[in-house]
Amino acid sequence: MKEEIVKLSKFSLLADKLCPIDMAQKRGTGWFLKKELFPTVEGDLIYKKHPGYSIYNGVAYPKASLVKVRTAKGTEEIPKSLATETVQAKDGTIYLNAAEATRCGLAIFTHKNKTIAIDKTPNKGYHSEARVKLQAKSSYFIGFEIEKEDDELYEEPADKVAMLTGWAKERDGSLNDNGFELISPAYGLPSRKLTTDLSNRYLVDLINAGHSSRCGGHINLSCVECTPLQLATDMRAFMPLLYAMFPKRASNQYCQAVPFEQVERGGRHALAIKSYAIEFRIFPAVRNITDLKHRIALINYFIKNRGISSKELLEKLDEVMPLCTAISSRSAEAIKESYKEDTLKYEGVCV
């Protein structure tokens, strides 16, 4: 029996060629190779290279009905009707599902009933993240740099920390292999945002993480009404008090106690003057959230009594001493005696 032959359409891959009918299929008035035609979701036949369609699992879908997703094998387009478990990453990439995102090396967590894929890198590079200053109707702004050493919380992804708290989590070469630094935004002082954030359970757990003698708890303070040098000058009477509270830190090369004239010349001293703020580097590791709140209260006391003289501060020490002893491991008597000695040593004032 003679095999029936048809002539392929000029739009076929084998335009105008002859082809056995059992290998061809008719669409409209023209013949095409069967492998060139695909059924559409509407039940029609469509040419494989039709510009408005893409093929998925042997079925042609309008391109407008597809979504681009990432899998461990690469990127592909799938029907939106089938993309019911997609997970979006921070950079906007959409993954087919949580399992595929994990295979691509991302971490998965749920926030506000939404599954999110993030980079699972524990810490960003040292000082690699932009510092954020929050909007607030405040004259003063405060920020924290809290160093920690904790095996478990070291593994918390930096992107997760940023997303859930607004704080950065970075490496710090001065710490152990399990060390990291938490950097806060600059909060208005006072501000409701600061109070709210310090009630965030996840942030509190990070602040309560382990620490060692290598860790510090720097505090940055700025004032919109004056320069950092002016602010530092008005705070100088409080520095001998901090030296008295933390004598070991005062002898540390990274936060050393020095006369104020040396502070003015710059350097990594107990007090540093930056272009945008002053930095109290003398503070040791933040033990826990209560300790941090005590430090904020102490800074508020400094602000309230800004410009006070060394002799005036000595007369008022008893009113701030409960805060000082709560933050320091030293007794009130030891702090007061050291304050007198350090005021003479670094300010040249006998009190």
Question: In the chain, where are the structural domains located?
Answer: 5-50, 65-119, 140-347
How far is the C-alpha of 101 from the C-alpha of 189, rounded, in Å?
41
**For residue 217, which of 164, 253, 171, 270 has the smallest C-alpha distance?**
270
User: Is the confidence at residue 121, as pLDDT, over 70?
Assistant: yes
How far is the C-alpha of 58 from the C-alpha of 38, rounded, in Å?
7
Average pLDDT score over residue span 192-214 = 96
Rg (C-alpha) for the chain, rounded Å, is 33
For the chain, first and last CA: distance in Å? Answer: 121
Burial of 141 from C-beta contacts in 10 A (0-12 / 13-18 / 19+): buried
Residue type, 120: K
Average pLDDT score over residue span 205-209 = 98
CA 196 to centroid of chain Cα atoms: 17
How far is the C-alpha of 38 from the C-alpha of 158, rounded, in Å?
47
The structural architecture, per CATH, of the domain 140-347 is: 2-Layer Sandwich (3.30)
> How would you classify residue 20: left for phi > 0, otherwise alpha for psi between -120 and 50, otherwise beta?
beta
pLDDT of 13? 64
Contacts of 45 (CB under 8 A, 6+ apart): 25, 27, 37, 38, 39
pLDDT of 2? 63
Contacts of 76 (CB under 8 A, 6+ apart): 56, 68, 69
- Do 116 and 104 contact (CB within 8 A), yes or no? no
- Do 282 and 270 contact (CB within 8 A), yes or no? yes
**For residue 220, which of 272, 147, 289 has the smallest C-alpha distance?**
272
Token output for 60: 């042609």
pTM: 0.81
Average pLDDT score over residue span 195-207 = 97
- Pairing relation of β-strands 114-119 and 87-89? parallel
User: Is the confidence at residue 43, as pLDDT, over 70?
Assistant: no
Average pLDDT score over residue span 162-185 = 94
User: Is the confidence at residue 178, as pLDDT, over 80?
Assistant: yes
If pLDDT is split at 50, 70 and 90, which confidence band does 47 have? low
How far is the C-alpha of 59 from the C-alpha of 12, rounded, in Å?
19
How far is the C-alpha of 224 from the C-alpha of 136, rounded, in Å?
11
Out of 44-53, 121-130, 280-289, least confident range = 44-53
- Do 55 and 48 contact (CB within 8 A), yes or no? yes
CA 182 to centroid of chain Cα atoms: 9
CA 85 to centroid of chain Cα atoms: 26
User: 């954020």: which residue's tokens?
Assistant: 132
Out of 35-44, 104-113, 195-204, 293-302, least confident range = 35-44
What is the CB neighbour count within 10 angstroms for residue 27? Answer: 17
- Do 328 and 284 contact (CB within 8 A), yes or no? no
User: 């106690």: which residue's tokens?
Assistant: 257
pLDDT of 57? 79
How far is the C-alpha of 325 from the C-alpha of 107, rounded, in Å?
42
Residues of the chain with pLDDT > 90, as a percent, come to 64
Integer angstrom CA distances of residue 29 from 2, 11, 127, 167, 314: 23, 12, 68, 66, 102
3-state class (DSSP) for residue 7: strand
If pLDDT is split at 50, 70 and 90, which confidence band does 127 have? confident
**For residue 19, which of 27, 31, 30, 1 has the smallest C-alpha distance?**
31
